[in-house]
Amino acid sequence: MTKLLPLPNTGALTGILEALAFFRDPSFAKKRFDRLGNVFETSMLGQPMVFIQGDKAIADLLAQPEAIEGWWPESVQQLLGSHSLANRNGAPHKARRKVIAQLFSSSALQRYSSGIVNLIDELSKEIRTSKTPFPLAEKMRRFAFSVIATTVLGLKGNDRDKLFTDFEIWSKALFSIPIPLPGSPFAKALKARKRLLEKLQVILSQPLNGKGGLDLLAGGLDEAGIPFADEDLGEQLLLLLFAGYETTASALSCLMRELLLNRHLETWLREEIDTLDWPPTPEQAHMVYDPANAPRLDALVKEVMRCTPPVGGFFRRTKKALVLDNIVVPNNRVVQVALIASNRHGIGDLDIFRPQRHLDNECSLNLMPFGGGERVCLGKSLAELEIRLMVIGLFSNWQLEVIPDQDFALRQVPSPSPRDGLLVKVKV
């Protein structure tokens, strides 16, 4: 029998320097894994936290659902709210997941796909009339927000725009120090949260306009005993706006950045795009660019998620002592699955961006950009659909080029995104 080992520790006590390093240094976890192994403990602002990487440790964690529960940092917990399914565990979590999952079934996606195609065509028209360079990352944010706000939740243009400003204030403080000092980002975000919930409540109390997917929820809500216009549902919608927006916008912006900075990649992808029709028919839009028909696009998306995962890590809390990759992790420990480090942990050129690795099954990493187990992302298929439609729609219509004098580096928090917004212009 293999001998079990104690949990290595960085020795950090207050965790102030560790937290600063975590937010500033994308190699934070890698440096510590190199020194301490695949499972180690440190402190982040006084919160003990176990970091894990590698297939074995992650599989060991997710194989024991009864011994773990969901966990998010205090700032996320407070800004999402106590009703949010992200902050719930056990039966209340399962019941809400079942209700919300109805918004992402394959028939729901089919329903949304022509709305998504319309949003891409609107963006195309905007690009046609733009005389000056524009920040592509900003356009991706607007698009991802519109998909979830208009196409899924059925909000009208006016309601959506009113939400957007508060939403930007709210989401900026999600991963911040949760002390509401007057004027601090967290204090502003708490106020924005209140306004957002009030607006969502008003929207929920109006008759459904037949657009979006909210009508799909009715039966499930009754079954779960949640009234339709309840604060509970408001908080689930707030979660969807957040979860469905920042992450998808990040994936799209990072993908565009790779394509526009590496012309050989764009040429390689265009060979495939040239074989595909745009726009797709309404009946086929939800599946016509799937991996079977667009394998290069699929490989590109996988590589973006590997190199710049929109969510750098996801969390669980242990409800009893667990053995992860031979290391004993005690009860009541927060475990962070460190995706950035894990995605580069293995043999070969894993530090290089090379989508082709996913085409020949040469990549043996078990990628988990959408998390795993009982809390795996509910919006995975929607996010993938949005990304595929946007890449094909945009690149079928336009040749874009980047403006040279800008910072192409990525800011990391809350999700990777080009610092200067990826300024581009249409190639003439």
Query: Which residues sit at the interface with ligand HEM, rule CB under 6 A?
Result: 70, 85-86, 97, 100, 148, 239-240, 243-244, 247-248, 251, 310-311, 314, 369-372, 375-379, 382-383
- What's the closest the beta carbon of residue 85 comes to ligand HEM, in angstroms? 5
The nearer residue to ligand HEM, 85 or 260, going by C-beta atoms, is: 85
- What's the closest the beta carbon of residue 42 comes to ligand HEM, in angstroms? 20
Which residues are paired to 410 by β-bridges?
A: 418
The nearer residue to ligand HEM, 148 or 400, going by C-beta atoms, is: 148
Integer angstrom CA distances of residue 351 from 27, 82, 309, 410, 419: 12, 39, 14, 16, 21
Task: Select from 251, 386, 240 the least CA-distant residue to 306.
Answer: 251
Which residues are paired to 425 by β-bridges?
A: 401
CA distance 76 to 235: 13
CA distance 57 to 127: 46
Count Cβ atoms within 10 A of the Cβ of residue 118 and give its class: 0-12 exposed, 13-18 middle, 19 or more buried. middle
The nearer residue to ligand HEM, 188 or 317, going by C-beta atoms, is: 317
What are 303-306's contacts with CB under 8 Å, separation 24+?
Answer: 303/258, 303/353, 303/354, 303/355, 303/357, 303/358, 304/251, 304/254, 304/255, 304/258, 305/251, 305/367, 305/369, 306/343, 306/363, 306/365, 306/367, 306/369
- What's the closest the beta carbon of residue 129 comes to ligand HEM, in angstroms? 29
- What's the closest the beta carbon of residue 155 comes to ligand HEM, in angstroms? 13
- What's the closest the beta carbon of residue 117 comes to ligand HEM, in angstroms? 17
- What's the closest the beta carbon of residue 68 comes to ligand HEM, in angstroms? 10
Cβ contact 58:368 at 8 Å? yes
Integer angstrom CA distances of residue 43 from 175, 326, 334: 16, 21, 10
CA distance 41 to 334: 9
- What's the closest the beta carbon of residue 145 comes to ligand HEM, in angstroms? 11
- What's the closest the beta carbon of residue 202 comes to ligand HEM, in angstroms? 21
The nearer residue to ligand HEM, 12 or 217, going by C-beta atoms, is: 217
The nearer residue to ligand HEM, 40 or 112, going by C-beta atoms, is: 112
The nearer residue to ligand HEM, 241 or 402, going by C-beta atoms, is: 241
Query: Which amino acid makes up residue 381?
Result: S
The nearer residue to ligand HEM, 88 or 156, going by C-beta atoms, is: 88
Task: Select from 10, 18, 105, 28 the least CA-distant residue to 313.
Answer: 28
CA distance 79 to 75: 6
Cβ contact 199:153 at 8 Å? no
- What's the closest the beta carbon of residue 13 comes to ligand HEM, in angstroms? 28
Cβ-closest residue to ligand HEM?
379
- What's the closest the beta carbon of residue 338 comes to ligand HEM, in angstroms? 12
CA distance 115 to 120: 9
The nearer residue to ligand HEM, 97 or 156, going by C-beta atoms, is: 97
The nearer residue to ligand HEM, 243 or 365, going by C-beta atoms, is: 243
Task: Select from 244, 382, 260, 240 the least CA-distant residue to 311.
Answer: 244
The nearer residue to ligand HEM, 186 or 370, going by C-beta atoms, is: 370
CA distance 306 to 246: 17
